[in-house]
Chain A
Amino acid sequence: MITEEDFTNIYNSYASKVHRLCLGYASGNNELANEWLQETFIKVWKHANSFKGTSAIDTWIYRIAVNVCLGDLRKSQKNIPMNEEVISNSKADDDNEINEKNIKKMYHCIDQLNEQNRTLILLELENIPQATIANTSGLAHGTLRTRLSRIRKSLLKCIKNGK
C-alpha cells in the first residue's frame, strides 16, 4: 500500500502533465480535463497495490490517463465546448493574439486526428520520452518514431492551412 506522502509526491510530479494531456483530449475544455485528471489519480490511489512495477510508474500513470480520456462516454457528444479561459489565460506576450489563434487551431487540428494519433502527439508534446510513449500506447519504438514524425508534419500543415 502506498502512503499518502508517496501519493502526494506522485501527484505533484505528474498532475500537470496529465492535466494538459487531458486538456488536449477534451479539446481545451478545462472542466472536463480537470474531471479526467481527478479520475486518473483516484484510480492511481485505488489500484496502487496492483501496480506490479513491470513498467515505470510514469508509464502506468499515463496509461491510466489516456485510457480514462478514451473511455469517457461524454466525449462522444459532438462539439465539446472549449473553455475560452484556457486560451485567454495563456502567457501574455506581444504575440498573444497570434498565440491564442494558433492554440485554438492546434486544438482543432488535434481533434481531426484519429484516437491513437491524438494520444501519441499529446504525449509527445508533453516531452514524454519516446520509450515511455511506446509502452503507454502499445506500439513498437520504430513504428512510433515514424508515426510521430508523420503526425507532426500533418499537424503543422493543418495549423498553417487551418484545416
Chain B
Amino acid sequence: MENDNLNKLWENQSNDISNYTPKDIITKAKKQRNGQYINITIMSATVIILIVYAFYYAFNQWNTFNLGLLLMISSLTFRIILEFYTVYRKENQLISMDHKSYNTYLKKYYKIRLIINYIITPICILVYIFGFYLLLPYFKEYFSNGFYTYILISGIISLTIVIAIIINSIIKEQRFLKQLYEG
C-alpha cells in the first residue's frame, strides 16, 4: 500500500456526524455556563452565610452543636470549592495548551488528584463525620427516638454512598494516569 493510499483509505470512511446543529451546541453551551454561574452563586452564598453565622452567632454562644455544624459545613464547602477550582483550571489549560504541554499537565493534574483523593478527601470526610458525631447528642435530646434513628441511618447510608463514589473515581483516575504514562 502506497503512502497516498493511506489518505485515500482514511477518506473512505463515512463521516456520520450527529444531527446537532451549531444552534443546539450554542444552547447547550449557554445551559452549561448558566449551570456554572448557579453553582458559583450557591457556593458563594453558602460561604458568606457560614462566615456570618460563625462571627455573629456561633462564636458568641459557643457549644459543641455549633462546632459540629461548622465542621460539617466547612469541610464540605472546602472540598466542593477545591473540586470546582481544579475542574476550572483544567478546562483553562485544555483550551490554551498545545497537545504536548497538555499531556504533561494532565500527568501533573492526576498526581495532584491522587493527593486530593488519598489525603485531603479522607481528612474532609473524617472532619465531617466528627462534626456529625458532635450533633448526635443534640438530635437525641430534641428529636423523637424514631427520627433520631432515621437521621443516624440515613447519615451512615449517605456517607457510604459518597465514599463508594469517591473510591470509584479514584480507580478511574488512577487507571487513566497509568495510561498517560504508558502512552
Contacts and interface: CB of A to CB of B under 8 A. Distances in A.
Interface of A: 4, 7-8, 11-12, 15-16, 19-20, 23, 28, 30, 34, 37-38, 41-43, 45-47, 50, 60, 63-64, 66-68, 70-71, 73, 75-76, 85-87, 89-91, 99, 102-103, 106, 114-116, 119, 125-127, 135-139, 152, 155-156, 159-160
A66 B29 contact: no
B102 interface: yes
B176 A73 contact: yes
A63 B99 contact: yes
Contact of B172 (A45, A73, A114): A73
Contacts, number: 140
A75 B15 CA distance: 21
B88 to A, nearest CB: 12
Interface stretch (B17-25, B54-62, B122-130): B17-25
A34 B98 contact: no
B106 A70 contact: yes
A42 B32 contact: yes
B183 interface: yes
Contacts of A138: 97-101
A90 B16 CA distance: 10
Interface in B149-183: 172-173, 175-176, 179-180, 183
A12 to B, nearest CB: 7
A136 to B, nearest CB: 6
The main secondary structure of chain B at its interface with chain A is: helix
Nearest to A149: B3
Given A76-B172, A127-B7, A89 B16 contact: yes
Interface of B: 1, 3, 6-7, 9-10, 12-18, 20, 22-23, 25-26, 28-29, 32-33, 90-92, 94-103, 106, 172-173, 175-176, 179-180, 183
22 contacts: A4-B23, A12-B22, A15-B17, A16-B15, A42-B28, A46-B29, A47-B95, A50-B95, A67-B102, A70-B106, A75-B176, A75-B179, A102-B1, A102-B9, A103-B12, A106-B10, A115-B180, A116-B183, A126-B10, A136-B98, A137-B100, A156-B3
A116 B103 contact: yes
Q: Max chain A CB contacts within 10 Å: which of B22, B32, B91?
A: B22
